[in-house]
């Protein structure tokens, strides 16, 4: 397997989007995860940078879409619109999908969690069922019409697969984040094999959340597992870069990962 490397927008060297795209081309990257610029206001700038460099904006973020599971209906409606707008933008520019971590906007963004209704339902069960119904009714049909993916970012691959299978849409996928997996999963490679066709994005970080090669994670088995499942999407760095020459450190990490194949 040849790894298609991607880098999150804030990590890329350069001040403008064009500078970042050009730097990634020079470094041998294939994609960029659009985060801060993931709105229609930047669409023309992103398209121009893609046309000039060939770097694919593979992943987008839903700006303002992190409160999909908020207890307040208006917050949920706002989140649905933000996610669908991001899916539309992603499709127009030729990306793979939009990443969505279901609870980060509630736990870290000051949202209101759904009340615990035990013994009928606890909060976690309600949130899971609500997520499945919203995806089925309000997001999956739009994603399918756009030919784009909503990529869930769960704690474990199995949790993401469970949601994907419950929704039953080809436009709802999950991802493998090797940093979180090193904490949550018993076996990274087996988790990836079990995720199989549902995995549409991979985040790379070592055990200390620095570039791969600076911690204790053994990347050989999960990379082989990706090859075994026929993974064809991108592997994106989501971690810190050691101080010094960022370009040299990124090249060094890519060389290290390639040596593990």
CA distances from 39 to 45, 148, 163, 231 (A): 11, 16, 27, 28
How many other β-carbons are positioned within 10 Å of the β-carbon of residue 47? 14
* Tens of pLDDT, residues 47-88: 999 999 999 999 999 988 788 999 999 999 999 999 999 999
Beta strands 149-152 and 56-61: pairing type? Answer: unpaired
In a 3-state reduction of DSSP, which class is residue 128?
Answer: helix
Beta strands 5-8 and 97-100: pairing type? Answer: unpaired
* Tens of pLDDT, residues 145-159: 999 999 999 889 999
pLDDT value at residue 66: 83
Task: Give the integer Cα–Cα distance in Å for 104 and 211.
Answer: 23
CA distances from 52 to 10, 24, 97 (A): 20, 12, 22
Six token digits for residue 218 = 């053994």
Per-residue pLDDT of the chain (261 residues; tens, 9 = 90+): 899 999 999 999 999 999 999 999 999 999 999 999 999 999 999 999 999 999 999 999 998 878 899 999 999 999 999 999 999 999 999 999 999 998 776 676 678 888 999 998 999 999 999 999 999 999 999 999 999 999 999 889 999 999 999 999 999 999 999 999 999 999 999 999 999 999 999 999 999 999 999 999 999 999 999 999 999 999 999 999 998 899 999 999 999 999 999
Burial status of residue 55 (CB atoms within 10 A of its CB: 0-12, 13-18, 19 or more): buried
């Amino acid at each position: 397997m040849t790894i298609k490397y991607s880098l999150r927008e804030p990590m890329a060297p350069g001040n403008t989007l064009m500078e970042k795209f050009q730097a990634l081309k020079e470094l041998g990257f294939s994609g960029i995860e659009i985060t801060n610029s993931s709105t229609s206001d930047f669409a023309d700038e992103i398209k121009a940078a893609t046309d000039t460099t060939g770097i694919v904006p593979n992943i987008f973020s839903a700006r303002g879409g992190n409160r999909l599971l908020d207890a307040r209906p208006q917050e949920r409606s706002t989140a649905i619109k933000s996610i669908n707008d991001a899916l539309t933008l992603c499709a127009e520019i030729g990306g793979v999908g939009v990443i969505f971590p279901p609870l980060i906007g509630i736990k870290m963004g000051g949202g209101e969690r759904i009340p615990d209704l035990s013994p009928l339902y606890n909060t976690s069960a309600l949130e899971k069922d609500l997520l499945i119904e919203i995806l089925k009714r309000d997001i999956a049909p739009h994603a399918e019409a756009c030919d784009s993916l909503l990529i869930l970012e769960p704690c474990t691959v199995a949790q993401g697969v469970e949601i994907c299978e419950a929704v039953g849409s080809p436009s709802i996928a999950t991802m493998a984040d090797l940093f979180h997996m090193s904490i949550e999963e018993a076996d990274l490679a087996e988790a990836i094999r079990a995720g199989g066709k549902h995995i549409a994005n991979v985040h790379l970080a070592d055990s200390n959340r620095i570039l791969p090669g600076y911690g204790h994670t053994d990347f050989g088995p999960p990379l082989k597992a990706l090859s075994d499942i026929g993974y064809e999407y991108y592997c994106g760095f989501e971690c810190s870069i050691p101080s010094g020459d960022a370009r040299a450190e990124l090249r060094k990490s890519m060389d290290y990962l390639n040596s593990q194949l």
